[in-house]
Each structure stands twice: as structure tokens, then as C-alpha cells.
Structure 1
């Protein structure tokens, strides 16, 4: 069995994923690591963004770590052949429904945020995003011609009790190991799915998690509060669309999207999917200046959640912190280090 399957993907994905391999070889050289094309690169090579063999191998691995997908060169590909379709297919095929997106402000980077230091310093927030339901997967969907001219686009937001309960359960369990507080974000004031979401979360809380503090918040207010007072939050659970937006906002609070990892988890015993949330960044691809820390910290999450090596995860997290304390910075953080040099700084601390 492969321990770690790497899917470098597109843009800066191969650059940052290569640094993950270097760190893994230094920190845990007993891991078996394999690699497969994915996203636009896979489309160019194999005619599909997610080959059947890749999905089969992903489901058989202990953990999967991807770089990023997408780029302007695939903008005109059929929708089902675009890199993003491969990512959605991978998530659905692996059954990873719980996306964990931490937003942590490392002490040396408190001044890198666009927010005032006193607002951001000490931030440690976990957004739990439902990943395989909602408007990204709902049917019907599509664009149709109207009889009188013009066109109509349709996307359908759909959630079931079971889908909401399982993601809320993840959030409540995480909160018990943190500060014991969950904010549930939705739009129950204008959306039927939001109303169902609030009802199901409330019912689950009263039945099984009354010891955890629960606060409901409208998603638009959550967006405002993340900028106004982000440290009021500990765990925030929300749906696929709002989670996509709110987690990117929370990530930028820390100073750079290049710092934030993520994990996507499914049922116990199934492999997790790990990825930096910065995207393929085609504007800097090939320049060797991408920040590899989000990918390296995604590997840290893989060690902790899927590979059973929390001891090594602790060492890696500490090494990243020490490298930053000593001034290691890529251009996105106001420094001059290359992608390789930033990884070198972490390897030095290991």
C-alpha cells in the first residue's frame, strides 16, 4: 500500500509538492511515496483531469496530497474535462466530506497581515467546510437557451439531514479538543437549505453535544466578523459554498494564502486528501518563488490525521515556526527566498 500519493497538478503545484517530497524524505523516509498526474496536466497527458487509475490509487493510499489545479490554458476545455472537474471528482470519489481549513497566525508573521497586529495576533481558527454537497454538486444545473432569446443559468443548492449531521458532528468533536465553541454559519433568513441546516445542527447539539457552546451566525455577518474580530471564533462549520468563501477570507487574515494548509476527511479508516489552499497561481508559476509552507503544513496535517505520526507532525510544525522566527520569508511574506530556499530553512530546523 502506498502511504502517500502525490498529485502535483498544475501551476505552482509541482514546485511546492517537490518540497513536500524533500521534507518527507528527511522526516519520515520509511513512507512509501508515489506520484500521478492530475488536473490540467493529466488532461494534457491522458485526456482527462482525473484518470480512473489515479482515483483507484488515491482510494488505496493512506493519504493523498495534491498541489493545485487549473490555469488559463484550460479555460476553453469542456466543463467535464477542466482541471476543477477532476478535483470535484477526486473529492467525491474519495468520499471526503469534511474540509478542515485552519487559519493560524504564526507569531513572527503577525505584522504581515493587512489587519492590525492586535486584531490578528494569536489567531487560531478552524473552519469546517462541507465538501461534497451543496450548490457545487446539486441537480439540476446547467445553462439553457430561453425561447424569447437570452439564456438562463441554474445551480441547485441541496442538503439532506444526514449530510448536515455528519459535518456538524466533525465540528463538535473538534471543538471538544479545542476551546469548546462552534459557530454554525448559514443563511437561514433567506434560504430553505439554510433553515434546514440551522434546525439539524440545533437538534444534533441538543441530543449529543450540549456540553459544547453553539452559536448560530448568518454567513454574511460571519464574513464581517472575521475582519472585525476574528479571535472570537474557534471552530466554524458551514456549507460548501460559504465555506469556500469564508475560509479564503480567513486565510488571508494570516498574511498570505501561501501559509494555509487544508485537510479533507471522510469516514474513519478512509484516506484523507490534503492540499494547500493557495491555488495554482499561474502568474508566478515557473519562477521558483512560490511559498511551499502551505503544502508542507498540509503534509503536517497528513502526518497527524491519516498517517498516524503525530510525533513527526509536531516536529514539522515546530520547524516551520522556528524557520519563520529566524526570518525565513518568500516574496509573498515580504522576503526574498526562493521556493527551494524556504524549504531548506525548514529542513535546517529539522
Structure 2
């Protein structure tokens, strides 16, 4: 079983789709046979914060724009951003626990090393093994919850006395409720978004967490801001692209008009530069630009990196090309 939330656009023809998601995998494609945008948001989880986020996805249409907003799982009853973390405790009043920082133990109630613990419940605690800044939120009357994120078993949650592994109830009130041999592995806790658009549509994507974007087909314009996710559009034909990532790679197929690309630590790869303007910058990532044969349009290409390598293939054959390529510590190569 899965949890799904689907939408079909009221406006026919090419449109602009704006997608906002914290974590997940988003795939957007175009096809000549598609007359209206279709969106499918789904997860293998049947309950818990991820399933709630899918159900709570909002679709808003105005003019030729469709906005898809998937609520943050951090706004749910119990959420985690670190491995092996739990928030546990009985509650007799509305409560909230928020924990952040690196370490093995944070307790609330007795308050030890607590960043914030505005609650009136006894015996609430957060335990964790974390190598990065982490956060736990716990709230609600009568809530007993525990979450272990990225554990060896996958997604493990306890809610009101029931233990779930990857969305499957295993133990309820101390009693095993599944047959021996029940499989609970898989890819839990993942939100997937599949969108089909008419050719020539626009995509605007925003994520401040671990979300990736894959594009296939013909797009008039692509705007994407990603934190820890990659943009993969090697099979896409894009008119104008503006893409920024922190750690994720950027891979584009064919660029027709202009592209402004930036990544702090990710690589930038353009498979078929079609002329026009291209700006690509990184801090530590490599830059690889190839051009398709037969390009006869004027081109302005600016490539800059601090510690990465720069490789171009075929750019010097483009008539009226203005090429600037600088790497402070890396190597720069131009192949004919």
C-alpha cells in the first residue's frame, strides 16, 4: 500500500509549475501527448510524518501557473534530522520539545543541555548519535513518540505504544502483531513527486533540504534552487536555465539560449551547449562543457572555479565565441 495525492491542471497547454519541497525525489517530464499538467505525490509510507506530508500537499492554480507545496515533515508531530535520534515521553498536557546540536544525549524535564524545552510533561527526553547539527520536535497531548532516522532497519517510529518499521506496525502495546518473516525493508520515508507537462512548460523548483530534481523533455525555462540535492537534466532540452546548489551536482542536456549555473561543492556538466550565454561557477566542483556540432550562433561562455578543474570540448570551434575560463588551483583544458 502507498499514500498518494494527485492533481490534474485545470488549464490546458504549457504552464509554469512551481514546486516547493524540503526532502524528496522530484521527476518532471514533458510529452507531446500531454495536454494538461498532471502531478502525483506519493510515498511507500502509509502513516507517519511522511504520509501526512503527502496528504497535506497543496495545489494552487492561478492563471497559467500551478504551485505544488509539500509541507515540511519538521512541522509534524515528531521529526528528526539526524541518525539514531529519539524523542520519548508521556505527556499529560500540550508539550513541545526542540533539540539541536551535536552530541549523544540531550534531556528535557530535568533540563540538561537543553536548547529549548517549553513543556509541562515529565520524562521527556531526546537521545542521539549525531555528527552534525540535529533537531527534534515533539508536541501534543498524550503523545509517546520515538523516531530513529537512517538506522540500519530504515525508518523506525514509535507512536502511542506502537512500534513501526518502514510504516509497518510491528509491536503494539508489547505484543508482536506481524507474522514471522514479514519483510519491512525497502526505501522508507521518501516522498516522490512525478509530474507530466505539455512541451514548452516552465519549472521553478525550491528546496532547502535533501531533495533532488530530474528533468526529461522540452522546457522553455528552468529555475532551481537546491541545497543538498542534485539536478539531473541530461535528457532535457532547455531554453533558459538558472540553477544553484550547495552540494548537489548540476547536469544539463541541451541548452538553447542561456544558462546561469552555480554550485559550491558539486560538479557542473553541460552535455550540448547550443550557443548563447553560459555562466558556470563552483568553489570545489569541476566544470565540463561540451558543445553540439554545427553551432554557428555567437556565444559568450564564462567559467570560474576555485579548486575544481575546467574541461571544454568543441567550444573553440564555435564562431564568434568569447570564452573565459579560470581555475585558481585546478587544471583547465580545451579540446577541439
TM-score tier after normalising by the smaller chain length:
under 0.3
More strand by share: 2
